[in-house]
């Protein structure tokens, strides 16, 4: 699929045109008079609510798709992104190959920002979860091959960035959507190496022996019950060159989580194939940073393993020593994500990252607290947490800062070791964050994104298909760009 911009007066023949319509019913002045008349008729005859698409043929010409854009004063990048997705989804079963997407600059959003968001929205809408259906028509993408952004000005860079970021989100979705028998730790490591090579990013994959030599016994404790060997993926993007890292991104990579000896209920366990969403997010984000040439040095870390109840599996009550030297008593083997993450966080710090952000489907408790619309954000100091909030807001991810005090840190102390990996259900998401915080060294700025409530969408919405969502990919990319040296 190709993207390019065209001026309103130079628009070539297309099969469909997507037009935003605000509540004030004022149609973009740049549109052809005949097209504006069709839009006016649609608005008058059926009305258009926000993100609801209505289409009509324009005589023998292109199909006109009108998408409700809400209030003009509330129009922002996220609305532009969702509007583009909704417009394309309404054409999913059509034969349209060439699409024009009208960017209404009268809404006050910077044209470059609007174009970037719209391109992301189109790319998002081109992903579907039905990858393993055998009937071709049930997994076929629409024949769309060209998208024209109808706007004044030079927006080439905005198009490039929107396409790269959109594709990165879809990479994370695709990886999380794969069943566990087709996305093992070894497979994920091979995919990461391939994506890194395409993007000019260095990739190392540490095996169990190498991890053992580094003292990663907390990470390796989770892998004990599986026949699949664990893989510790390390990606390095040297955007500015020189020594050191401006940030480290760490992603939880549990390619299937049965709960181990503390086995999960059977209901919805199949979705635990996507418990490696954090790793998928980090891999996709690092590859995007390479393609964009972001001028920052970023290290990405993804500790990957299965969590199964085999004969050698970790038992409740076992004690292991983490890479940081702290000892951990495993109370609940289903609280395994934090066991792999603390070694990942320590590794990133040992490599020189003094800013660390981890992403994980860590606790069901965060979904109880926030539902499925916001990811939970923890960290310290407050200033760095605020930076992550700003990056997420600008990128289009919704996050909500959560508390983390010494009261919770006290609750994860073990009677026989330094730390306990489980301390009861109340405040579960906060206690999990407190466990990770124990691996954060003095002088490190750290943020933890618990995406267990946002990694999967149950409903097929106008702006996103059901299934994995790739949360936080955009946040990591935005954050890396913001902390890049001038």
In this structure, are residues 123 and 164 in contact, taking their beta carbons and an 8 Å threshold?
A: no
Cα–Cα distance, 118 to 83 (Å, whole number): 8
Residue 271 a catalytic site member: no
Which secondary-structure segment (H or E) carries 357?
Answer: strand 355-360
Eight-class DSSP state of 309: -
Choose the catalytic residue: 81, 236, 338, 431.
Answer: 338
Q: Is 98 a catalytic residue?
A: no
Report the C-alpha gap between 41 and 49 in whole angstroms.
15
Residue in the structure block whose two tokens are 């959109």: 166
CA 305 to CA 344: how far, in whole Å? 13
Reading the block at residue 287, the tokens are 């590859």
The values of phi and psi at residue 419, to 5°, are -130, 150
Stated as kind and residue range, the H or E segment containing 470 is none
Strand, coil or helix: what is 321? strand
Rounded distance, CA 344 to CA 350, Å?
A: 10
371, 398 Cβ separation under 8 angstroms: no
Distance separating alpha carbons of residues 337 and 436, to the nearest angstrom: 10
Of 72, 97, 240, 264, the catalytic one is 264
Q: How many Cα neighbours within 13 Å face the side chain of 361? A: 28
* Cβ(486)–Cβ(473) below 8 Å: no
Residues serving a catalytic function are: 264, 338
């Amino acid at each position: 699929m190709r993207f390019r911009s065209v001026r309103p007066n130079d628009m070539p023949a297309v099969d469909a045109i997507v037009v935003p319509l605000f509540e004030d019913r004022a149609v973009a002045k740049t549109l052809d008079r005949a097209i504006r008349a069709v839009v006016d008729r649609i608005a008058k005859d059926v009305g258009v609510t926000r993100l609801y698409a209505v289409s009509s043929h324009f005589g023998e010409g292109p199909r006109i798709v009108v998408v409700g854009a809400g209030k003009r004063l509330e129009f922002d990048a996220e609305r532009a992104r969702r509007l583009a997705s909704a417009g394309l989804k309404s054409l999913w079963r059509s034969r349209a190959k060439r699409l024009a997407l009208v960017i209404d600059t009268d809404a006050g959003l910077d044209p470059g920002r609007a174009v970037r968001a719209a391109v992301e929205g189109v790319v998002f809408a081109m992903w579907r979860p039905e990858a393993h259906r055998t009937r071709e028509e049930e997994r076929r993408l629409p024949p769309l091959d060209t998208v024209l952004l109808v706007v004044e000005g030079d927006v080439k860079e905005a198009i490039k960035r929107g396409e790269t970021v959109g594709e990165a989100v879809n990479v994370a979705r695709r990886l999380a959507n794969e069943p566990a028998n087709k996305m093992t730790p070894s497979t994920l490591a091979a995919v990461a190496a391939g994506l890194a090579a395409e993007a000019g990013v260095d990739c190392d994959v540490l095996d169990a022996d190498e991890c053992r030599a580094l003292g990663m016994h907390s990470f390796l404790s989770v892998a004990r019950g599986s026949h699949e060997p664990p893989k510790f993926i390390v990606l390095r993007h040297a955007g500015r060159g020189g020594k050191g890292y401006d940030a480290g991104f760490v992603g939880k990579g549990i390619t299937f989580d049965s709960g181990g000896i503390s086995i999960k209920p059977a209901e919805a366990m199949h979705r635990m194939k996507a418990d490696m969403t954090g790793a998928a997010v980090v891999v996709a984000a690092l590859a995007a940073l390479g393609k964009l040439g972001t001028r920052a040095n970023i290290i990405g870390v993804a500790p990957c393993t299965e969590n199964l109840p085999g004969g050698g599996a970790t038992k409740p009550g076992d004690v292991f020593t983490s890479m940081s030297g702290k000892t951990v008593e495993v109370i609940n083997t289903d609280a395994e994500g934090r066991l792999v993450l603390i070694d990942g966080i320590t590794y990133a710090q040992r490599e020189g990252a003094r800013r660390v952000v981890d992403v994980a489907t860590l606790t069901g408790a965060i979904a109880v607290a926030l539902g499925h619309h916001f990811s939970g954000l923890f960290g310290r100091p407050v200033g760095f947490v605020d930076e992550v909030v700003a990056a997420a807001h600008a990128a289009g991810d919704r996050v909500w800062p959560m508390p983390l005090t010494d009261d919770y840190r006290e609750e994860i102390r073990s009677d026989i070791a330094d730390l306990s990996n489980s301390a009861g259900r109340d405040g579960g998401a906060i206690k999990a964050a407190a466990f990770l915080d124990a691996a954060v060294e003095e002088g490190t700025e750290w943020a933890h994104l618990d995406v267990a409530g946002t990694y999967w969408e149950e409903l097929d919405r106008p702006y996103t298909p059901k299934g994995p969502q790739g949360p936080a990919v955009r946040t990591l990319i935005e954050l890396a760009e913001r902390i890049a040296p001038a």
